[in-house]
Amino acid sequence: MSDSNSGQIDNVMQEDRLFPPAASFSEKAVIKSMDDYQQLYDRVKADPEAYWEAEAKSELHWFEPFDSVLQKDGIDVRWFDGGKTNICYNCIDRNIDAGHGDQDAIIWEGEPGDTRTLTYNQLHHEVCKFANVLKGLGVGQGDVVSIYMPMTPEIAIAMLACVRIGAIHSVIFAGFSAEAIADRNNDASAKVQLTADGLWRRGKIIPLKQTVDAALEKSPTVEHCIVLKRVENDCDMTNGRDHWWHDLTSEASDDCPATPLDSEATSFILYTSGSTGKPKGIRHTTAGYNLWAKKTFQWVFDWRPDDIYWCTADCGWITGHSYIVYGPLAAGATMLMYEGAPNFPAEDRFWDLVEKYKVSILYTAPTAIRAFVKWGDQHIDKHDLSSLRLLGTVGEGINPDTWIWYHEKIGGGRCPIVDTWWQTETGGIMMSPLPGAIPTKPGSCTKPLPGVVPKIVDESLEPVGVNQGGMLCIAEPWPGMLRGIWGDEERFKEQYWSTVPGCYLTGDNARLDDDGYYWIMGRIDDVINVSGHRLSTIEVESAMVSHPNVAECAAVGRPHDIKGQAIAVFITLKDVEASDAIRDELKLHVRKEIGALAVPDDIRFCEAVPKTRSGKIMRRLLRDIAAGREAAGDTSTLEDFSVLAKLRGDED
């Protein structure tokens, strides 16, 4: 075990299973072998500017060429400076110019079963009309448009219309409170609000406009609100401020040339929760982000022209930005978009969609996969999933047992799994298996993508040894990187750049194993220090979830007079009743899996653990509950406040 003063994290989980790509998959893959991957990685690392110059020229359209590939002055980084391009042009016009205008871009299904399909030509028509609507309301380059909408094609249309004219979009997940919307609108000085009358969720109407009306009472910078008619429910419309989407677009021209924008022009702001204080508006720019989203989509998903690709995320999150809208469309892909819940009208809705649309690439969250496990295999068995050729996970680490279930039950043992690690801040995927090249290990994000240079250090900023955990940093710039926190450059410097000089601090712990594979070990503040041994929450959780009766687990530390910290776990069971007997059985299971050191002091059973709406477990709230404190910090992203109330004991 490591010295408690070193800042290293003990590795207590062993996972030796290795799944090489099938030869039949590798033969057709974009990157076909470990040698191919390593050669590309080494080439980019040796001369990143030469590589990215060639990629930018071949993969993006330029109205004006760039003067330099990369300029770096401390934490001020500029990619493709002096060039002018446009993300919307690269996502739509470029594909039409290449002769793909009649190809399907978006295949959409609403929760009630209604469907629409938009070709690239039709998407261009709708985006140009809405871009002219925005211009008609006075929206210009640099103005912020706040988007609070359901997962219909119009959310993608709105995002693309904004970047077409140089407006900055701020997409807010359509489930946040009025207070959360107002906070984000005010921080960004939003000029226009986009919303809908409502959305469908598990057969019920969620009245979005009603929430927005309350938010706009506290959003003085918003001049106009455009409302999409989705569910046909009654909603109040304020004269002069509120406009129906269909009324405005019916009169708008579909001629709207894309505005040439500086490479470093801000394309969007996306708010992410802070552990304390207000949410952070992560700022992304134009050319570098566009190129990174496209290249990582092509590499990681081994995209081919005949694929039907489905990312199950929401456009309110970075996954929806990069891998529903900007990455796939820049690559010329056909993607499925779904509005509703995975368990409506029944727990097989996802598998019905995979079968119906012959989805070949499925990208979803470990939280969803664990729910599928809990709901039972019978929902999968009734569907033909043979169209699938590649599976992906995103949002948080996936424990090995869930990975194996996903591989065998959903992938039929034939589909590689790309376990992707990245963040809102990184703009796109940073570490992932390349499915035709890199053998996978359940629970590992395997290798960094070309252009990503990771570094793991301890609290003394010294590199850690093999199989020792430490703070994960990125040592070199990459094109998709964040450029700031909107309106708060000091916070940007302090949070990401002040801890490890010259490196971006990810906020995650990681370790490197004997094969050079990376394992994410949870957030830096999720480490539990038990009797001088620093344990990763993910390893404790993985051991617990490997028990057949456990559907989900969240592990946190709480203060302990003798050990420093004790381990507290919150567990959702599958089909058994909570009891002292099952509690004792679970403690024995952890002892057997990873040793006495990791046996939890507290096991609390719950119907669900608190998560963000993007599916990440909110461990900082659980730490407060375990320690008997009131929850602190930003809770605006919490999925279900009743979960928190029940864990606190506020409800019966």
Segment 198-253, tens digit of pLDDT: 999 999 999 999 999 999 999 999 999 999 999 999 999 999 999 999 999 999 99
Distance CA 183, CA 215 (A): 9
Among 395, 154, 186, smallest CA distance to 271 is for 186
Query: pLDDT class for 596, splitting at 50, 70, 90?
Result: confident
> What confidence score (pLDDT) does residue 534 get?
64
Domain limits of the chain?
A: 527-648
Look up tokens 């194993």; give the residue: 513
Query: pLDDT class for 597, splitting at 50, 70, 90?
Result: confident
Q: Which helix (H) or strand (E) holds 641?
A: helix 641-648
> What confidence score (pLDDT) does residue 649 get?
59
Residue 12 has pLDDT above 70, yes or no: no
Residue 617 has pLDDT above 70, yes or no: yes
Question: Nearest 10 degrees: CA dihedral of 218, 220, 226, 227?
Answer: 10
User: Quick one: CATH architecture of 527-648?
Assistant: 2-Layer Sandwich (3.30)
Residue 633 has pLDDT above 90, yes or no: no
Distance CA 384, CA 356 (A): 9
Query: pLDDT class for 99, splitting at 50, 70, 90?
Result: very high
How buried is residue 189: exposed, middle or buried, by Cβ count under 10 Å (0-12/13-18/19+)? middle
Distance CA 59, CA 292 (A): 10
Tally of residues, the chain: 652
In one-letter notation, the amino acid at residue 631 is: A
> What confidence score (pLDDT) does residue 575 get?
82
Lowest mean pLDDT among 53-57, 82-86, 646-650: 646-650
Dump pLDDT digits (tens) for 447-487.
999 999 999 999 899 999 999 999 999 999 999 999 999 99
3-state helix, strand, coil in the chain (%, to 5): 35, 25, 45
> What confidence score (pLDDT) does residue 533 get?
66
Among 55, 124, 132, 53, smallest CA distance to 94 is for 124
* Cβ 91 vs Cβ 164: under 8 Å: no
Lowest mean pLDDT among 42-56, 131-145, 265-279, 573-587: 265-279
CA-derived radius of gyration, the chain: 24
Q: Which helix (H) or strand (E) holds 155?
A: helix 153-165
Lowest mean pLDDT among 40-44, 315-319, 382-386, 644-648: 644-648
* Cβ 146 vs Cβ 170: under 8 Å: yes
Among 336, 325, 327, smallest CA distance to 360 is for 336
Among 245, 227, 270, smallest CA distance to 480 is for 270
> What confidence score (pLDDT) does residue 374 get?
87
Distance CA 231, CA 201 (A): 11
Query: pLDDT class for 177, splitting at 50, 70, 90?
Result: confident
> What confidence score (pLDDT) does residue 592 get?
80
> What confidence score (pLDDT) does residue 641 get?
56
Question: What is the average pLDDT across 154-169?
Answer: 98
Look up tokens 């946190």; give the residue: 556
Q: What counts of helices (H) and strands (E) characterise the chain?
A: 22, 30
Percent share of the chain, pLDDT over 70: 91
> What confidence score (pLDDT) does residue 367 get?
82
Phi-psi group of 361: left, alpha or beta (phi > 0 → left; psi -120 to 50 → alpha; rest → beta): beta
Question: What is the average pLDDT across 595-602?
Answer: 84
Straight-line distance from the first to the last Cα atom of the chain, in angstroms, rounded to the nearest whole number? 43
Supply the mean pLDDT for the chain. Answer: 91
Side-chain-side CA neighbours of 388 within 13 Å: the count stands at 28
Query: pLDDT class for 290, splitting at 50, 70, 90?
Result: very high
Question: What is the average pLDDT across 509-538?
Answer: 81
Residue 629 has pLDDT above 80, yes or no: no
Query: pLDDT class for 560, splitting at 50, 70, 90?
Result: confident
> What confidence score (pLDDT) does residue 277 get?
53
Dump pLDDT digits (tens) for 402-458.
999 999 999 999 999 999 999 999 999 999 999 999 999 999 999 999 999 999 999
Task: Report DSSP letters for 492-512, one per residue.
Answer: HHHHHTSSSTTSEEEEEEEEE
> What confidence score (pLDDT) does residue 638 get?
55
> What confidence score (pLDDT) does residue 16 get?
78
Distance CA 208, CA 195 (A): 7
Which range of 6-15, 270-279, 366-375, 636-645 scores highest in mean pLDDT? It is 366-375
Residue 259 has pLDDT above 90, yes or no: yes
> What confidence score (pLDDT) does residue 399 get?
86
Question: What is the average pLDDT across 17-23?
Answer: 95
Query: pLDDT class for 591, splitting at 50, 70, 90?
Result: confident
Among 126, 106, 134, smallest CA distance to 191 is for 134
| Helix 178-188 vs helix 208-216: crossing angle, to nearest 10 | 50
> What confidence score (pLDDT) does residue 522 get?
79
Q: Which ranges of 391-487 would DSSP assign to H, the alpha helix?
A: 400-405
Residue 256 has pLDDT above 90, yes or no: yes
Residue 316 has pLDDT above 60, yes or no: yes
Q: Which helix (H) or strand (E) holds 194?
A: strand 192-196
Contacts of 469 (CB under 8 A, 6+ apart): 8, 9, 10, 11, 456, 509, 510, 511, 521, 534, 536
